[in-house]
Structure 1
Amino acid sequence: MGDKVLLTPTGKWMVGGGVAVALGLTALGLLQFANRPSAKQAQPAPAASPAAALVGKISALGRIEPAGEIVQVGGPSGERIGRMLVKEGQSVAEGQPIAYLESYNERLADRGVAQSQLKDALAQFSSTQQYGNAQIAEAQTRRSQADAPKQKELAAQNATIARLKDELAIAQTDLNRFQSLKTSGAVSQRELDDKRLAYQSKNGQLREAIAQRAKIQQEWNTSLRNADAQVQSARAEQGRSQAQIQVDTARSNLALAQARLERTIIRAPQSGQILKVLKKQGEALEPSVGGSSGGQGIVELGNTSQMYVVAEVYETDVSRARVGQRAVIASSAFPGEIAGIVEQVGLKIGKNDVTNTDPAANTDTRVVEVKIRLLNSRPVANLTNLQVQVLITPKS
């Protein structure tokens, strides 16, 4: 009976039959890495209670990716690359231009026209404002001209009323005195009648002067209202002038031209490194696959200053994975091991994406993605999507 090689759910190999056969290099390397003793394990450890025993390590395959994953920066479909400003491996800052589309120069010219139109509209508005200010000043002058004479006339009339009141008081005193004298027979009836007539005359003059003052006050108020209405009318005309409408329209056109110009400048949405240039100068951006309205990608961008490993942990092991656990990764692509910290444990079980090179490996494994932040990103900063071996050490 021939020998059989079986794969357990944990990914470890078992050899059945009479004689064990040599394992594949990849599986053997993973077993050696999983069973590699640490410095502390090299020394005999004192006996510990079963509750304190260390739970077995979690082994898995994983892939390296930048923080925030790989971002594909695209542009509107139907456009063409006019000028590419970056190359692979170049570091870019957030908002930095990556490429100019072919329509950039045309949109730049449109913005120049809109700026000129706004400049002309502002000049026309300034001229209109000056004319409106002159009209307002003229209306205010007419108000002053209507105000000053009436003030003087009203002041004179008040002086007349004050004088007549004094004269009326004197006439009242004389009338009272002559009435007393008439009783004693010192004055005649005619003299008393003269004093009474003088008093009545002054009283009539006072009433007439008061009425005249009311008339002057009314005329003054009417003149002020008319002058104020002229000032307000001039100001309102200045506020709703056609020049102001033209300025508003020109500003809106400039904002539209600027927005259209910005659409022709492809900028970096975040700081990072250009991982791959997908389009060359002169190439067109065709619609995305499937007929969607989005355009094609121009570059792939990633924050390689902080690298992560996405470990695909088998579904039966994920219950032992926790945020904050220590982990190490290894690969033949870089020397030694790189330590990391578990930062996120996925909430969804799916099929594995990182496929083992062993043809006998299970390619339909159900796994959960566990994100590990590497403590030293420099050795793998240029190795995005590299397959690595992962060991996660559960806590006691």
Structure 2
Amino acid sequence: MDYFHLRVYRNREISWRAFSSTDSIASKPGIVYHAKNWPMRSPRRFPMRCPRPIPFHPRRFGQLATPLGLVIALLGLFLGGYATWQLQSLKPATAPSGSPAASGAAPSTSTSASAESASVPSQGIFALAKLEPEGGILQIGGLPGDRILEIMVQPGQEVRENQPLIRLASYEVADAELALLDAQKQRGEDLRRIIQDSAQAQDAEAQAKIAQARASGKIDLQLADKKIQLLEGQTASAQDLLARLQQSGQSRLEIEKQDSLLKQLQSELESARISRQHAVEAAERSERLAELQRTSARKNVDRLLMEIPAPLPEAVRLATLRRRNGEINAPIAGKILSLSARRGELVGQFPLMQLADTKRMIAIAEVYETSKAELEQWLKQGGVRAELESALIREMVPEKKLTGTVQRVGSMIGRNQLMPLDPVQDADRRIFEVRVLLDQPDLASRMIHHQATIRLLPKQAEPAAR
């Protein structure tokens, strides 16, 4: 019987097995059979397992390639940096804009600078400058969350102070609130007028009742007084007659009859006096009642006036303030520089437009800090003039440059905000700001935020050839 020597790969384990020619060798999942065709006398002479060999695999090559690639990358970076350093060392050194080397003046004290400027004409101080309106650019915005209803201006339009620029949706709401408050106020005034007219009529009626009560009481008193006078006269006559009858010795019947008549007259007189007192009291009661009715009518009128629904002054002021905030007006007279608002948009945190007064334009120059002493000395000697040049200025200005006068020299030293276009120059410089009032504001207003090169010269010095 012939035997075959098979190498079996299963789960990365290698084993040797002996099979006879009569055995069924079938490939199973995960098992690979590799047979060497040589006959074997006995399978016992070969071991069933052997040490695992180290076959070649792509993953093992990747483990070796990673450190090798890192070494190659570091070597390339080193060579590139060395080449860059060599190229930079070959370039000529350039002085930053506004520095003493660029302006042609060596850094020295004010005494040496004045002596040098007296002997050698100064080339000026060069720096970067930006064109700005003198009053700055106003960022116009609205209350966040409101909606833009109407835009009443266009970019580039000249506007006057307090001119409406943008109308928001809250303007209509506040306007409707004010209209409602005005209607309530008008209705309250109408009701007040009606109540006051009714009160006047009631007061007139009460006064008429009082006058009537007084007149009626006066008449009653007059009648009572006349009746009392009449009864007093009759009583006095009856007393005299009774006395004469008693003295003359008349019959007893006549005397009793006269005495009875006297008593009747006295009784009527007493009754008349009581009636007069009652008439006085009745007149007083009628007058007091009329006064009470008049007072009650007045209080009723006051109560009705208090119940009239009238708008509060605070509500009117609040609605007026809402309407004022719903309409954005121009705070100053000027020109609309940009308009980023669109109809129907919601107002956010960003400005809706930019407004500036372009009648006076300035240039803000960033001058190198070493030129501060020289510039201040020029200001003391008679002032400093400025010249601005750039490609855009040469195209738009007939004189090929903008001129101006230095207004103010800043006292704070800080980092520059204007970046030079030349990549070789320093991007980080220590500068101070200089404000220059321009002589051509109408031309400069067409180039707001334009960056140009400015040249500062003393006024008594003539411009040297550049």
Q: TM-score range by the shorter chain?
A: 0.5 to 0.7
* Residue of structure 2 in register with 1:273 after alignment: 335
- Render the CA deviation track for 1:84-111: whole Å, top value 9, x for unaligned: 443332222223333445x47xx63x46
The 8 Å contact of residues 128 and 238 in structure 1, kept in 2 or not, is answered as: no
The within-5 A match list for 1:83-122 is: 83-101=150-168, 103=169, 108=172, 110=173, 114=177, 117-118=180-181, 121=184
Alignment of 1:131-280 (within 5 A): 131-156=194-219, 215=281, 218-219=284-285, 221-241=287-307, 244-245=308-309, 247-248=310-311, 252=315, 256=319, 260=322, 262-280=324-342
Which of 417, 434, 438 is 1:374 aligned to? 438
CA distance in 2, matches of 1:323, 1:260: 53
Matched, 1:331 2:388: yes
**In the TM superposition, what whole-angstrom CA distance separates every residue of 1:65-89 from its partner, at most 9, and x where no partner exists?**
1132011222344455555443332
1:64 paired residue number:
131
Name the structure 2 match of 1:363.
Answer: 428
1:146 shift after superposition: 2.2
For residues 215-269 of structure 1, what are the alpha-carbon distances to aligned partners after superposition, in whole Å with 9 as ceiling and x for unaligned? Answer: 356425522431331231232133112xx32x4179948963x655554544333
- Deviation track 1:291-314 (CA, whole Å, cap 9, x = no partner) reads xxxx21222221111112223345
Tell me, what secondary structure is at the counterpart of 2:352? strand
Please give the alpha-carbon distance, in whole angstroms, between the structure 1 residues aligned to 2:359 and 2:380.
Answer: 22
Q: Is the 8 A contact 1:325 1:392 kept in 2?
A: no
CA–CA distance in structure 2, aligned partners of residues 324 and 276 of structure 1:
42
Is 1:340 aligned to 2:405, yes or no? yes
Q: Distance in 1 between matches of 2:436 and 2:285?
A: 90
Q: Which amino acid aligns with 2:99?
A: G
Greater relative contact order (Cα < 8 A, sep 6+): 1
> Is the 1:143–1:223 Cα contact (8 Å) retained in structure 2?
no
Q: How many angstroms apart in 2 are the aligned matches of 1:68 and 1:224?
A: 75
Equivalents in 2 of 1:124, 1:3: separation in Å?
88
1:114-159 CA-to-partner distances (Å, cap 9, x unmatched) read: 4664576456535633542353134214312321123214544776
How far apart are residue 376 of structure 1 and its match? 3.7
For residues 352-376 of structure 1, give each alpha carbon's deviation from its aligned partner in whole angstroms, at most 9, with x where no partner exists: 2233444334632142x34333344
- Rounded to whole Å, the distance in 1 between the matches of 2:149 and 2:136 is 28
AA aligned to 1:65 is E
Bigger Rg over Cα: 2
Q: Equivalent residue for 1:38?
A: none
Deviation sequence 1:29-62 (CA, Å, 0-9, x none): x669xxxxxxxxxxxxxxxxx9xx89x8776543
Q: Percent of counterpart pairs with the same letter?
A: 18
Q: Does residue 129 of the first structure (1) align with residue 183 of the second (2)?
A: no
Q: 1:141 to 1:90 in 2, by over 3 A?
A: closer
| Contact 2:214–2:287, Cα closer than 8 Å, also in 1 | no
Aligned equivalents of 2:287 and 2:378: distance in 1?
Answer: 89
Could you state the TM-score of these two structures normalised by the residue count of structure 2? 0.52
Q: Is the 8 A contact 2:402 2:440 kept in 1?
A: no
Aligned AA (1:89) = G
Deviations 1:165-206 (A, max 9, x none): 999xx9xxx9xxxxxxxxxxxxx9xxxxxxxx9xx99x9899
Check conservation: 1:276, 1:300, Cα contact below 8 A.
yes
* Aligned counterpart, 2:112: none
- The aligned counterpart of 1:24 is none
Counterpart residue number, 1:178: none
Distance 1:81 1:10, change over 3 A: same
5+ unaligned residues in a row in structure 2: which ranges?
1-88, 106-114, 237-246, 248-262, 461-466
Richer in helix (by share):
2
Distance 1:148 1:63, change over 3 A: same
1:278-289 pair list within 5 angstroms? 278-281=340-343, 285=347, 287=348
> Alignment length, in residue pairs?
329
TM-score, normalised by the number of residues in structure 1? 0.60
The change in CA–CA distance for 1:81 and 1:237 in structure 2 (over 3 A counts) is closer
SS of equivalent to 1:137: helix
User: Which runs of no fewer than 5 residues in structure 1 stay unpaired?
Assistant: 14-26, 33-49, 175-187, 189-196, 288-294
CA distance in 1, matches of 2:382, 2:227: 108
- The 1:321–1:149 alpha-carbon spacing in structure 2 relative to 1, beyond 3 Å, is farther
Cα deviation code 1:299-343 (max 9, x no counterpart): 22211111122233455437658799744332231434423351x
Aligned equivalent of 1:44: none
